[in-house]
Structure 1
Amino acid sequence: MKKTKIIYWIFTVLVLLLMGVGAVPSIIKSEDSVKLIHDHLNYPVYFVPFTGVAKLLGCIALLVPGYPRIKEWVYAGLTFDLIGAIYSFICVGDPASGWFPLVIGLACIAGSYIYYHKLRKLKAASNGTSYSGNTAFA
């Protein structure tokens, strides 16, 4: 279980760094965030702090112990955010070098999600209870 927990936290910290640190400039509507999201991707300015707050709340929810259903929604939301960002960059004609780092972020989210469920399954087995979560990746 120790190895699984370490791998889970490595992936989760990478997700928190990618999404959490990236959320702060959006929340404060920094000039660079507005240029990227509004000027380059053509989203409305009010969308900038909204996405930042949503990402930051998602990161906080990943850190709070318990609440497995909320964590499922957080993983889904962060995944939708990155897929939407990749799609947006492709639609405005950006080269792969502009959006490929987001694919790495998706891989980190997938790793965190997979190991989250492996860890829950191991904890349930050690407690003698059955695990009824998503077993597709376990």
Structure 2
Amino acid sequence: MTTTKRNKIIYWIATIWLALGMISTAIVQLMQMKEEVDNVTRLGYPPYILTIIGVWKILGVVVILIPKFPLVKEWAYAGFFFAMTGALISHFVLGNSFGVYYGALLLLILTVVSWYFRPADRKTVSVNQ
């Protein structure tokens, strides 16, 4: 198997799992399920942040999955990275157990793996001057 083919397989596996994870958590956030509202308020955030994050996650998934728009993809990956590191830090500061924040850690890892292995046509082009 060529390196390019292996990288493409890794990219798509990570990206599909990332998309499924972000969509499923976005749905829970948009539904404002009681457990999710309790979690976010325990972390010190207002419940309306769930709607904002849920909408941005869905938009980010759409951008990452569609072809073209490499610069917008970079922003989506950055948003996922910031959201998941923010969740991890919030849980860590409160002293929550690993079981509470392993989902955010998994989504963070999938974000980094998907970003790192993305094909050339999904990357921004750097021009050296």
SS of 2:117's equivalent in the other structure is helix
**Shift of residue 106 of structure 1?**
1.5
User: In 1, distance between residues paired with 2:72 and 2:23?
Assistant: 17
Higher RCO structure (Cα 8 Å, ≥6 apart): 2
Q: Any residues of structure 2 matched to 1:113-132 within 5 Å, and which?
A: 113-116=115-118, 119-120=119-120, 132=125
User: In 2, distance between residues paired with 1:108 and 1:12?
Assistant: 7
Q: Show the counterpart of 1:12.
A: 15
User: In 2, distance between residues paired with 1:87 and 1:69?
Assistant: 27
Q: Which has the larger radius of gyration?
A: 1
User: In 2, distance between residues paired with 1:3 and 1:91?
Assistant: 38
User: In 2, distance between residues paired with 1:84 and 1:72?
Assistant: 18
Segments of 4+ in structure 1 off by > 6 A? none
TM-score (norm 2): 0.85
How high is the sequence identity, in percent, across the aligned residues?
30
Give the RMSD, CA atoms, in angstroms: 2.0
* Gapped regions of structure 1 (runs ≥ 5): 125-130, 134-138
TM-score (norm 1): 0.80
Q: Show the counterpart of 1:54.
A: 56
Verify: 1:36 aligned to 2:39, yes or no: yes
Q: How many residues align?
A: 123
